[in-house]
Structure 1
């Protein structure tokens, strides 16, 4: 993958990626950070590819303008947890405390992001473990392992060995959304596909799920706006 720039102000970076499977030139703008990827089939020159990108310059800038700014984590910021927005405030004690409208974090300001991230991951593990056990009992199947990651391309996965993986950021979504994703991956323990039988299984162990799926499609990427980096 090589990087090029369009003559905008500031210059717009474009990552050019060659693909043997691509049949035409295509542009993609990441909804997470606005990064632009230009996919090019074999036999197409970089000059031709960049000419295509320049023709789409107005569209590219319009798409990037829709990308919402990253929210750095720290005192005074707000963060959704279980779908409810909480203010991040200093804690008078030694533990992180989740309140109705606040989350109190101990330590110095420069420690807040790391401590809050650790708290959210532990909370996510507890809630996902409970949900997985619940839906697993309904299905009559057991998983072999549960791991958490900060994935951007998927909210969860299930391996053929019964290992489940989830994005810990699900703990920031409404509780019903976390439950749906848990049920979705548990259903894969019985159906390793997305056939009608699979979706019937999801509905059998979870109930109606259209609202939760819609929330993930329309608002899920918002959860990646929150940066816990130092």
Structure 2
């Protein structure tokens, strides 16, 4: 019996196996992605060696592919049906679509199409792109309103902080801010901007924050008690 037929009866991962001959590759290598398995084959490698390599890797492939499948399928019900983004008055509808690329966002009709083969990865990529486009603009607006300047801004996923400001006045904002209500995002921006003038959490610092956000204590408490839905923890790799 041919190797492909023998393995097919055990698991269907070979349907997702993509073989790539690489001129500079020195060894056979398997890489398991969310929607396919890549087999890198050196240019002069024989078919017999490829078959032996796949046979030896079979148990690992089955286990790893099953793990990837569970991540993409078993939690699909946790995906949000809509997204409420901080700078939009209307929610964005989330729709799974079979497509070759990661996502399509239709701003005018407020619809986000996610790749159905890797929906959480697609959603994470969209949120990051959206945050990098809109959070710097919003931070600049708040900076102009308050007269508090900064040197640079970085947008990235962070598991434990909403933002930060270093001694060079470089501000970091968490991608997940785009999922909060606008007043809370404004509070975080003000908080980090005030750090450009007062680099601690002294009474003077909070007095400065209060000048620009009279409800800062309420916003601070809401963010302190924030609990994300499961899908957020999934894209952060915490479930």
Q: TM-score, normalised by structure 2?
A: 0.54
Match of 1:144 in 2: 151
Does structure 1 residue 122 correspond to structure 2 residue 129?
yes
* Conservation of the 8 A alpha-carbon contact between 1:187 and 1:198: yes
CA deviations on 1:58-110 (whole Å, 9 max, x unpaired) are: xxxxxxxxxxxxx946796435433787552136997213588x74215x412
Normalized per residue, the structure richer in strand is: 1
Contact residue 155 and residue 170 of structure 1 kept, 8 A: yes
Partner Cα separation in structure 1 for residue 129 and residue 210 of structure 2 = 28
The answer for the alignment partner of 1:88 in structure 2 is: 94
Q: Secondary structure at the match of 2:225?
A: helix
Count of matched residue positions in the alignment of Structure 1 and Structure 2: 157
Please give the root-mean-square deviation of Cα atoms over the aligned residues, in Å.
3.3
The structure with the largest helix share of the pair is 2
Residue-by-residue CA offset, 1:203-224 (whole Å, 9 max, x unaligned): 22233222221211112x4267
1:189 counterpart = 2:196: yes
Residue 158 of structure 1 corresponds to which residue in structure 2?
Answer: 165
Match of residue 213 from structure 1: 220
CA shift in 2, pair 1:162/1:181, >3 Å: same
Deviation at 1:127, TM superposition (A): 3.2
Counterparts of 1:18-97 in structure 2, within 5 Å, are 72=75, 77-78=80-81, 80-82=83-85, 87-90=93-96, 95-97=104-106
Distance 1:75 1:204 in 2: 40
C-alpha deviations, 1:30-80, integer Å up to 9, x for none?
Answer: xxxxxxxxxxxxxxxxxxxxxxxxxxxxxxxxxxxxxxxxx9467964354
Partner of 1:222: 228
Question: What TM-score, normalized to structure 1?
Answer: 0.56
**Consecutive aligned runs of 4 or more in structure 1 exceeding 4 Å deviation:** 71-76, 83-87, 91-94
Q: Is the 8 A contact 1:74 1:112 kept in 2?
A: no
Task: Compare relative contact order (CA 8 Å, sep 6+) and give the higher one, 1 or 2.
Answer: 1
Q: Which runs of 5+ in 1 are unaligned?
A: 1-70
Q: Distance in 2 between matches of 1:73 and 1:175?
A: 28
